[in-house]
Amino acid sequence: MTDTIKLTIWNEFRHEKSNPAVQKIYPKGIHSTLAESLEKDAKIEVSTATLDEDQHGLNEEVLNNTDVLIWWGHCAHGEVSDEIVEKVQQRVLSGMGLIVLHSGHYSKIFKRLMGSNCSLRWREAAEKERLWNIAPGHPITQGIGEYVELLNEEMYGERFDIPEPDQLIFISWFEGGEVFRSGATWTRGNGKVFYFRPGHETYPTYHNKDVQQVIRNAVHWAKPMVNIPTNLAPNTEPLESLSEKSATFGEAGIKGQ
């Protein structure tokens, strides 16, 4: 019971309402397709939230009950309130795992955690992507072979403006001649972050078994530890006895600010 991972899948949920081609692939939204896949794992307890809900579906109670958050956004990054982004960031720093998918590279939350622009080159031409497994011993690639192949995807190419990852997990090859660091991990505060590239809304990527497996693995990997000592800038007493001070300092220099 205590082993259950509380997962919230957040989706912008706009393309699915306005674009019939997308609606055909994800009739109930990308979040629902992901939820159906992840609910099959008895250790994952799935909820969903979307942009147009109150507080984007991410009020304090929801966030405090989320162990791992998945994020898909694209055309409405700017509509996500800064206040919610701040809260999500603080929750990551205190341990919540975060999985950012595809066009989420330009979301406020991802850019804020990375500190860089997260820009990349791109092309929408239904081309072939092959994600090479660079980290076969990593939990995120369990059950995945030497590569994952997707027949039709949007191209994302380097240079991807991200800080050097803790670990690089996948590198993509694209038919049109580009490469991309398509799976990578970082730590921010006590939280784990995984970026996973595939998932343009006009292709059935989240129905792919390998893609589902990678995301499921990532949910397990990103699960927070339970007993994290907190330490927010305490003014502390010395653990050892201090020497006598021979010099005179300003008040600030002796007793603090």
Q: Which part of the chain contacts its own copies (CB under 8 A), choosing from 1-9, 58-66, 206-214, 249-257?
A: 249-257
The yes or no reply on residue 17 touching its own copies (CB under 8 A) is no
CB of 54 to its own copies, least distance (A): 27
CB of 163 to its own copies, least distance (A): 6
Footprint of its own copies on 57-86 (CB under 8 A) = 75
Please tell me whether residue 66 adopts helix, strand or coil conformation.
Answer: coil
Closest CA to 197 of 221, 234, 239, 169: 169
Nearer to its own copies, 54 or 247 (CB): 247
CB of 24 to its own copies, least distance (A): 8
Which are the contacts of 60, defined by CB distance < 8 A and separation ≥ 6?
Answer: 87
Footprint of its own copies on 90-129 (CB under 8 A) = 93, 95, 112-117, 119-128
The yes or no reply on residue 171 touching its own copies (CB under 8 A) is yes
CA atoms of 70 and 59, how far apart (whole Å): 15
Footprint of its own copies on 183-212 (CB under 8 A) = 186-192, 200-203
H/E stretch holding 84 = helix 82-93
The yes or no reply on residue 226 touching its own copies (CB under 8 A) is yes
Pairing mode, strands 5-11 and 44-50: parallel
Helix axes 30-39, 209-222, angle to 10 degrees: 70
H/E stretch holding 72 = strand 68-72
Instruction: Identify the residue among 6, 36, 41, 173 touching its own copies (CB under 8 A).
Output: 173
Phi, psi of 169, deg, nearest 5 = -110, -45
Nearer to its own copies, 20 or 54 (CB): 20
Binding-residue total with its own copies (CB under 8 A): 102
Instruction: Identify the residue among 52, 65, 81, 163 touching its own copies (CB under 8 A).
Output: 163
Decide: 168 and 141 in contact? Cβ < 8 Å. Answer: no
